[in-house]
Amino acid sequence: SILSKHFRVFYDETGSIGKRYRRQDSIGTPYCITVDQDTLDNNTVTIRDRDSMKQEIINVDNLIDYLHQKLND
């Protein structure tokens, strides 16, 4: 994946999205990226921040820059 060239990534598709978020929260994953039908339709992903639980929808083309900025703040 394009992300694995820049970050340590983990792919998970088991269980419901809520269970996936909880599982990643428990191991300390700072950001979860959800790929869904919207990704296929309009090239966007949802990014969930572990600490605030805030979710943002961004264009896939901006994903690497977005994560670099968030992780370096």
Q: How far apart are CA 65 and CA 5, in angstroms?
A: 13
Is the overall model pTM greater than 0.85, yes or no? yes
How confident is the model at residue 73, as a pLDDT? Answer: 80
pLDDT of 2 strictly over 90: no
* Segment 15-49, tens digit of pLDDT: 899 999 999 999 999 999 999 998 999 999 999 99
- Compute the distance between CA of residue 44 and CA of residue 15 in angstroms, rounded to an integer: 22
Query: Does the pLDDT value for residue 56 go beyond 90?
Result: yes
Which stretches within the chain are classed as H helix? 17-27, 37-42, 63-72
Which pLDDT score, from 0 to 100, does residue 45 have?
96
